[in-house]
Amino acid sequence: MPEQSPLETAEGDPFGPHNLPYGVFSTADEPDRRRVGVRIGDHVLDAGAAAVALGSPYAALLARPGLDALMGAGRTAWRDVRRALTAWVTVPAHRPDIEPLLHPLATVTSHLPYEVADYVDFYASEHHATNVGRIFRPDGVALTPNWKHLPIGYHGRAGTVVVSGTDVVRPSGQRKAPADPAPVFGPSVKLDIEAEVGFVVGAPSRQGVPVPQSAFRDHVFGLCLLNDWSARDLQAWEYVPLGPFLGKSFATSVSAWVTPLEALDEARVAPPARTEPLLPYLDDSDEEEPGGFDLRISVSLNGQVISEPPFAGMYWTAAQQLAHMTVNGASLRTGDLFASGTVSGPERGERGSLLELTWNGTEPLDLPGGARTFLEDGDEITLTAWAPGPDGVRVGLGEVSGRIVPA
């Protein structure tokens, strides 16, 4: 009996040929040679080598050290390359060429798959924004007056976006409790996570020309998982009046695999009903496809699931965020990354940050390793997610994980 081909993924495998996420990897033999990979089951296809072996015209986009060329090539190229890849991993005649170019996932090293241009973080979950408002501004209204009128966002630090698996050094900085006479300096004592979904821009746009919601698929290449590590004590002291800075800029982790938009066609859902009328550029009541994504996220701390935030309930969609981010004429570049903001659902077990899960440390989580409020050194956080795919099969969004090392 012949050995089963790695291309014959098990029925229901969330990384079957319906998914085909992109990444960049190197092997132990050639650690400095980065190559574009496509995940199939528990293997990675060297996509550039496959294109060359099969004489594909897409070698120019795939035989590269990063995804930037493919990302910048635009929607038609994305569709055509995905069609080609689907054929390469499913048509039996290609097997003799393709199989030797598969690497077991466990044997490769993943790298940041593209150079992050600008990184923008939004604040799109009404449940999260309400929780944070109640915790940080107990004397004010939970949602600021602008929240239902525009997707609030801010720029983060692109240079400290790291790939899943990278250790995160506990940041130091200033903190000051309201009762303290002056700020003190030291390692953060309220180190937190934010479970988010990132959207990766492929095709650029021109400065001065807004990108409407209807052009979402022309510019957004795919999705990743994102953990926006946050030092709550640093953030609380610094963020008035110009927003978060050092409380966020030390590290942001992203999953190694970028899921193409096309793999998530079955996951599109309508966002929640809007409770305030929207200005025309944000109104999505007449958009061709629903703007939401039904992604089920799971957050684990040292292997224990602590939350399952539902992405489908996000108030603002990624298409609205894209339209807002560019309505003032700001341009897009290949590699721009914008994130949803913390994904929190209405239930306690659906909150996407420890700030909310422990209500700023006042309600510790009871975990096998002991009670936990914020992150301790050595803690490892892993986000995973899946979405409904064709024929009831799940689409896996991979994982983003990181471990805290001491300051």
Among 118, 287, 376, 399, binds a second copy (CB under 8 A): 118
- Among 176, 217, 268, 296, interactor with a second copy by CB under 8 A: 176
Q: Is 128 a catalytic residue?
A: yes
266 with 352: CB under 8 angstroms?
no
Cα end-to-end span (Å), the chain: 55
Does residue 298 interact with a second copy by CB under 8 A? no
Based on the shown chain and the rule CB under 8 A, indicate whether residue 241 belongs to the binding site for a second copy: yes
User: Which CB sits closer to a second copy, 222 or 247?
Assistant: 247
Contact of 144 with 357, CB cutoff 8 Å? no
For residues 96 and 74, give the distance between their C-alpha atoms in angstroms, rounded to a whole number.
30
Q: What's the rounded Cα separation, in Å, for the pair 228 and 208? A: 29
Q: How far apart (Å, rounded) are the C-alpha atoms in residues 196 and 321?
A: 14
324 touches a second copy (CB under 8 A): yes
- The residue from 43, 103, 111, 128 that is catalytic is 128
Q: How far is the CB of 159 from a second copy (least distance, A)?
A: 5
Region from 214-222, 238-246, 303-311, 346-354 binding a second copy, contact rule CB under 8 A: 238-246
Please state, in angstroms and rounded to a whole number, the distance separating the CA atoms of residues 403 and 305.
16
User: Whole-number minimum distance, CB 172 to a second copy, in Å?
Assistant: 6
DSSP 231-281: EHHHHHHH-TTT--SHHHHT-EEE-S-BEEGGGGGGGEEPPPPPSS---TT
Binding footprint of a second copy, residue count (CB under 8 A): 65
What is the distance between the alpha carbons of residues 315 and 311, in angstroms, rounded to a whole number? 10
Look-up of token digits 């066609």:
265
Applying CB under 8 A, does 207 fall inside the site for a second copy? Answer: yes
154 binds a second copy (CB under 8 A): yes
Q: Rank residues 142 and 393 by Cβ distance to a second copy and give the closer one.
A: 142
Q: How far is the CB of 239 from a second copy (least distance, A)?
A: 7
| Residue (152 or 318) nearer to a second copy, CB | 152
> At residue 28, what is the residue type?
A
Identity of the residue, 80 or 379, whose beta carbon is nearer to a second copy in the bound complex:
379
8 A C-beta contact, residue 56 and residue 47: no
Does residue 179 belong to the site contacting a second copy (CB under 8 A)? no
Whichever of 188 and 259 has its CB closer to a second copy, that residue is: 188
User: What is the rounded CA–CA span in Å between residue 266 and residue 332?
Assistant: 27
Provide the 3-class DSSP secondary structure of residue 29: coil
Indicate the DSSP class of residue 105. G
Position 328 contacts a second copy (CB under 8 A): yes
* Residues annotated as catalytic (active site), given as ranges: 128
Binding site for a second copy (CB under 8 A): 117-118, 120, 123, 133, 136-137, 144, 146, 149-150, 152-160, 162, 169, 171-174, 176, 182-185, 207-208, 210, 231, 234, 237-247, 249-251, 276-277, 279-281, 324-325, 327-333, 336
